[in-house]
Amino acid sequence: MRKNRLYILVIIAFVIGVGYSAFHKWSVDHVLYITGGVDHPIGCVSCHVYPERDGLLANMLNEDYLSPLNAAVSEDGSRLYVIAQDADLLIEVDLNSREVLSNTKVGRRPHSAILTRDQKTAVVTNQWANNIYFIDLKTKEITDSVPVGGGPAGMDLSVDGNLLYVANTYTNNISVVDLRTKQEIRRLHGGNYPTSVAASPNDDFVFVASQRTVPIEFRTEPMTEVTILNASSQRVSERKYFNSAHIMENVTVSPSGDMAVATMVRPKNNVPSAQIERGWMINHGIGVILKDGRTAQLLLDEPNAFYPDPYDIVIHPDGKRAYVSHSGVDMVSVVNLDRIRSLLADASEEELKLYANHLGMSGEFVVDRIKTGSNPKGLAMSADGKFVYVVERMEDRVSVIDTDVSEIVNTIDLGGPSRISYTRRGGQLFSNAGHTFHNQYSCYTCHPDGHEDGLTYDLTGSGRNLANVQTLRDLYGTAPFKWIGTNQSVYKQCGMRFSRFVTRTESFSPEDLDAVVAYIMRELTHPPNIHRLPNGALTEAQQRGKAIYERTVTNDGREIPEKDRCTTCHNGPNYSNFQMADVGTNKENEDESLFDSPNLNNIYESAPYLHDGSAATLEEIWTKFNDHDTHGYANDMTKDQLNDLVEYLKSLSAERYYKKDLNYKINKGQL
Amino acid sequence: MPRRFSSYKLFFIVLLLFGCSKDLPHEGKVIFTRLPVESVSGDRINSIENKYATNMEIAMAFMGEKPEHTEVLTRDFISARAPELSFDGSLLVFSGLKNEEGAWQIWTMDLKSGEIVQVTDSRTNCTDPAWLPNGDITFSKMVTDDHSLKYHALFTIGVDGCCEQRITFQPHEDINASVLHDGRILVASKQVYPESGPYKYLALRPDGTKAEVFHLAHATSGMMDKAFENNEKVFFHEADELTSVKFNRPLHSRERLLTGGQIQVNSIRSFDEQNLLLSLKKPDEKTFGLALLSVEDFSREKSYFSDPEYHILEATEVRERSVPRKLPSRVNSDMSSGYLFSMNADASDIEIEGKTAKVRVLGMNGIIGETAVEEDGSFYLELTSDLPVRFQTVDASGEILRGPSSWMWVRPDERRGCAGCHQDREIAPYNVVPKALESAPFVMIR
């Protein structure tokens, strides 16, 4: 009996040993596959816990952060109102005691706040709810809600305080709201992804800056619009284009109205990325519109030091200094505007062209750099000019700069979680350029708001095999990655090759890589699809387009081969089978390649299209690049049918976005 | 019972703490080169020849100690100098001569065990080693080129002597390399063929790619010693004066410190974030000694160490230092060519009438070839890797417009771009697609 037991124990031990050995071998092979053979001490939790959006462990490991974005300071300097984007809150701060006084729940994904002239009401833009809230600052109650365009973001008041101008990011327009009637009285077309508004104190013009380039010809310079409205007529008076600039996140006007200044990024996406040294990939600075109508671009970078992702800009009441937050390098630059005035006063067109690319020019007008906490975003200047409040998004904190000494003299804790979770650490890394040579750019620079910047880059530095930047939103479960599908995981995508070709410096440490991947996979999500009716129903045109998308026969009744149907490659919740395909879009000078079928959720946001960005619109995929029906059987379609198909494509969005839980919280992993 | 358990726990914690604590031998001491005062006069101390002077020793002492307490570390060597400590402070690398017939080699010394290991095995002299962030070593080695010209080129090698490779290929004296926090090597470089101009500092990646001018020396300055970074500035001595440039803008931020000719500066090393360790000779002193100076106030000397019998040079304190960035390499050693393009050959600081029609590539033996530039002034070349080349631009009638340029090279599979020819080095390229890159590169392989 005893002997039998011993045999049983030996057999059990053997089975466990063999089982463990087999499991170990399988897991090592699995990890090698996932990381693409890159030496990375990846554990099970790296993929199976940290990036998870839901589940007990994921919820235990993660926190619900506030992620403040913008702020408004009261005229008397006693209160600061901070938008907490991830928590859907308006936070009221007592600036004397530096304590949070109240948290008011606002709409989904709030963006900005502004106080009415009587200082009694805060107006908040709810970017994912397509409306603005009016909040009584005494009772903290929402007194009114006004629907505006899609994705309302930055705003400003007319000089008399009766009108509110709102930049609607997702629908590319500007709402003019009469604050007396709480009615939207106009909606004007404005650039591509307009995000901020600044009204001139002279009551003559209103400036609206945009994030994305307007549609351009393939392989030409991006051009980003600053829309200028006539303040009297509330009509567009002029559209100024900043060549080779984009991500103009915020704009402001000097107190005398002699210049409007916007933050901007200057990508070198057309330049072969042979090197990163000396600003060969991306520069950062400000765009200026002078009273005489001339425009100028000035870099805030230096030859061996870059100040990426300039986000907000405020001007001191004396009009002599501007403060620019660099969210990618945790810094605020102090800019001497008088030096800029004299620099630009007599500058010729040739000189202005030179200044826009001159990395040494900042030495002429940047007078200070102030180190801040992680990811400084919105700035608010006190009315007396004594303080600048810096909203530190990834710290859940506000820092206070004393403008007399150009130093941070206080910080205000907004009450977010004190623990930095793995995912939060990933967010900090994602938005920081410290992992790029000379801090030239962060992940955010090409993926603003986790999306893409609408540009095509020549990362191989050879003039061929171009890469259209892809969105990072909702990547979970969409492997493989990269247009040519060679990356099985985001670990590989952001690993060693990434540092060789993109960041050109030391690659992420294994821990940092885990954190960045967790952040990308867990936190970055599409906004609600603005082309989809709130109840998920399709419009008539979209229904007709759906029928075309799902058709199996041609207009003349012939059966469409399965490989040429839309649904063959673009199916499932992400509208992709994640297989490689030849859709005939390889260009002559490119390496022959198959392409990964991209997922199509919120595809309307991702122009231009195709792997190299050669199709400016969805239509062009079939009108210009599908001569032989290699990208779906489409050449029998009428123009109306193509329009319907495109309407349907624009509406594509996973059910989770419009069914039942419209009020999900971003961090709860309910996506 | 619980108390007993706690005692055990405490014991193990203490054991663990002791086990974890790092024992850095000789921490706080200063390691330096000393040179007998009679062997060379002070004004000739900073010359190429004296890199290989005899009777030099590497020694160690505390800054405050008397010179007689100095401990010599290289007694078995005929001469040794240029000590550099690894980033963890445990391993010393230096150049040394072990026997009269041999050449100067690179050596390492374990500071704990005292074990000395030969790294290079060269028939020509090797000198001025510096640690790379990945644990390899960069150093200068005397080479003789096809024209029988002798000069130092820069090399890298593994600490175990493996995988030595040359990383600079120009007819330049490339010496006194140090490593910047961004992971690039900063090397003093002077053109020897044709002999031209003063020294300059070149910054390049440890794989020899992307070499570019970091700082141009003052025309009258002699050889430039190792430069060291401290507090966002790079310090070096130029014409015996302590000089600094801002790391962020090194071409236009030169600042002369400790001027006036009273104090002669030799070598400079970074001590910590606030202080520099300088080898200098005071007017009333016979020998170079070591001074610890604050980067905030160079007039305030924190401590001084000298020896009337020896010049004290090239000092470094025993301590841990932060490791610079480990830069990835795109060199593909299976290839024998690299690529170079110019965005616009006519974009230049040198204003000349005429438009570039062709670009001519010159090698050490004359013209390698020439090719037409595109209408936007761009050109795109495939060049033999690791071969020094210069460029001339010529107009349609064959007249030379600009050049020859400085020497440059491409590493195997390296891609390099230039904004223009003699273009201001602070200008980022214009965001246009160079026409030349719409087709294959013009092959100009020797």
User: Do A487 and A579 belong together in one domain?
Assistant: no
In a domain, A646, yes or no: yes
What pLDDT band is residue B170 in, cutting at 50, 70 and 90? very high
In a domain, A642, yes or no: yes
Is residue B216's pLDDT more than 70?
Answer: yes
* Helix (H) / strand (E) containing A523: helix A510-523
User: Do A8 and A22 belong together in one domain?
Assistant: yes
Most B CBs within 10 Å, among A246, A304, A333, to test the B interface? A304
Query: Which of A36-40, B5-9, B170-174 is least confident?
Result: B5-9
Whether residue B146 lies within 8 A of chain A, CB to CB, comes out as no
Instruction: Give the list of residues 6+ apart from residue A155 with CB closer than 8 angstroms, or none.
Output: A112, A114, A123, A125, A132, A164, A165, A166, A167, A197
Question: Cα(A619)–Cα(A24) distance, rounded to whole angstroms?
Answer: 50
User: Do A510 and A558 belong together in one domain?
Assistant: no
- Give the total number of structural domains in chain A: 3
User: Do A646 and A545 belong together in one domain?
Assistant: yes
Is residue B15's pLDDT more than 80?
Answer: no
Whether residue A533 lies within 8 A of chain B, CB to CB, comes out as no
Look at residue B259 in the predicted model and tell me its pLDDT: 63
On average, the pLDDT of chain B sits at 89
User: Do A7 and A57 belong together in one domain?
Assistant: no
In a domain, A373, yes or no: no
User: Do A555 and A619 belong together in one domain?
Assistant: yes
Is residue B19's pLDDT more than 80?
Answer: no
In a domain, A216, yes or no: no
Compare all CA atoms of chain B with the CA of A364 and give the residue at the minimum distance. Answer: B252
User: Do A453 and A518 belong together in one domain?
Assistant: yes
Look at residue B4 in the predicted model and tell me its pLDDT: 47
Domains and CATH numbers, chain B: 30-317 (2.120.10.30), 337-444 (2.60.40.1120)
- pLDDT tens string A136-182: 999 999 999 999 999 999 999 999 999 999 999 999 999 999 999 99
Is residue B43's pLDDT more than 90?
Answer: no
In a domain, A250, yes or no: no
- pLDDT tens string A396-424: 999 999 999 999 999 999 999 999 999 99
Whether residue A218 lies within 8 A of chain B, CB to CB, comes out as no
* Token pair 């020859």: residue: B404
In a domain, A548, yes or no: yes
- Asked if residue A608 has a cis previous peptide bond (ω within 30° of 0), the answer is yes
Residues of chain B contacting residue A496, judged by C-beta atoms under 8 Å apart: 328
Residue-range definition of the domain harbouring residue A48:
38-64+439-528
| Dihedral sign computed on CA atoms, order B419, B421, B424, B425 | positive
What pLDDT band is residue B32 in, cutting at 50, 70 and 90? very high
Is residue B301's pLDDT more than 90?
Answer: no
Compare all CA atoms of chain A with the CA of B427 and give the residue at the minimum distance. Answer: A358
Strands B379-384 and B442-444, sheet pairing: parallel
Is residue A202's pLDDT more than 50?
Answer: yes
User: Do A570 and A583 belong together in one domain?
Assistant: yes
Look at residue A656 in the predicted model and tell me its pLDDT: 66
Question: Cα(B74)–Cα(B94) distance, rounded to whole angstroms?
Answer: 10
Residue B369: both structure tokens together? 């070839």
On average, the pLDDT of chain A sits at 93
Average pLDDT over residues B201-211: 97
- pLDDT tens string A456-498: 999 999 988 999 999 999 998 888 999 999 888 888 888 877 8
In a domain, A643, yes or no: yes
Q: A422-430 vs A510-523: helix axis angle to the nearest 10?
A: 90
- pLDDT tens string B424-445: 889 999 999 999 999 999 999 8
- pLDDT tens string B361-401: 999 999 999 999 999 999 999 999 999 999 999 999 999 99
> Where is the domain boundary, A475, A506, A528?
A528
What pLDDT band is residue A499 in, cutting at 50, 70 and 90? confident
State the CATH number of the domain containing residue A582: 1.10.760.10
- pLDDT tens string A72-130: 999 999 999 999 999 999 999 999 999 999 999 999 999 999 999 999 999 999 999 99
Whether residue B181 lies within 8 A of chain A, CB to CB, comes out as no
Whether residue A659 lies within 8 A of chain B, CB to CB, comes out as no
Whether the CB-CB separation of B380 and B437 falls below 8 Å is answered with yes
- pLDDT tens string B86-137: 999 999 999 999 998 899 999 999 999 999 999 999 999 999 999 999 999 9
Most B CBs within 10 Å, among A355, A371, A437, to test the B interface? A437
Look at residue A38 in the predicted model and tell me its pLDDT: 64
Is residue B42's pLDDT more than 70?
Answer: no
Question: Cα(A437)–Cα(A499) distance, rounded to whole angstroms?
Answer: 9
What pLDDT band is residue B261 in, cutting at 50, 70 and 90? low
What does each C-alpha distance from B217 to A174, B220, B237, B368 come to in angstroms? Answer: 55, 8, 10, 31
Look at residue B11 in the predicted model and tell me its pLDDT: 52
What pLDDT band is residue A34 in, cutting at 50, 70 and 90? confident
> Where is the domain boundary, A506, A528, A550?
A528
Burial class, B296, CB count within 10 angstroms (exposed 0-12 / middle 13-18 / buried 19+):
exposed
Which of B109, B140, B116 is CA-nearest to residue B127? B140
User: Do A446 and A505 belong together in one domain?
Assistant: yes
- Out of A269, A277, A360, the one facing B249 most closely (by C-beta) is A360
Residue B179: both structure tokens together? 């490593």
| Dihedral sign computed on CA atoms, order A408, A413, A416, A421 | positive
Whether residue B179 lies within 8 A of chain A, CB to CB, comes out as no
Average pLDDT over residues A553-572: 95
Question: Cα(A486)–Cα(B29) distance, rounded to whole angstroms?
Answer: 52
User: Do A575 and A640 belong together in one domain?
Assistant: yes
Between residues A135 and A40, the one the model is more confident about: A135
In the 8-state DSSP scheme, what is residue A358?
Answer: B
Residues A666-670: contacts with CB under 8 Å, at least 24 apart? A666/A86, A666/A109, A666/A523, A666/A525, A667/A62, A667/A63, A667/A64, A667/A65, A667/A86, A667/A523, A668/A54, A668/A59, A668/A64, A669/A52, A669/A53, A669/A54, A669/A55, A669/A58, A669/A59, A669/A62, A669/A522, A670/A53, A670/A54
> Where is the domain boundary, A462, A496, A528?
A528
Strands A387-392 and A397-402, sheet pairing: antiparallel
- pLDDT tens string A350-393: 999 999 999 999 999 999 999 999 999 999 999 999 999 999 99
Whether the CB-CB separation of B341 and B418 falls below 8 Å is answered with yes
Q: Cα distance from A434 to chain B (closest Cα, Å)?
A: 11
The terminus-to-terminus CA distance of chain A in angstroms comes to: 57
What pLDDT band is residue B67 in, cutting at 50, 70 and 90? confident
Average pLDDT over residues B284-303: 85
- pLDDT tens string A215-261: 999 999 999 999 999 999 999 999 999 999 999 999 999 999 999 99
Whether residue A505 lies within 8 A of chain B, CB to CB, comes out as yes
In a domain, A608, yes or no: yes
User: Do A578 and A477 belong together in one domain?
Assistant: no
Q: A639-651 vs A540-549: helix axis angle to the nearest 10?
A: 100
- Asked if residue B404 has a cis previous peptide bond (ω within 30° of 0), the answer is yes
Most A CBs within 10 Å, among B185, B342, B426, to test the A interface? B426
Which of A667, A329, A377 is CA-nearest to residue A519? A667
What pLDDT band is residue B298 in, cutting at 50, 70 and 90? confident
Question: Cα(B153)–Cα(A3) distance, rounded to whole angstroms?
Answer: 75
User: Do A514 and A562 belong together in one domain?
Assistant: no
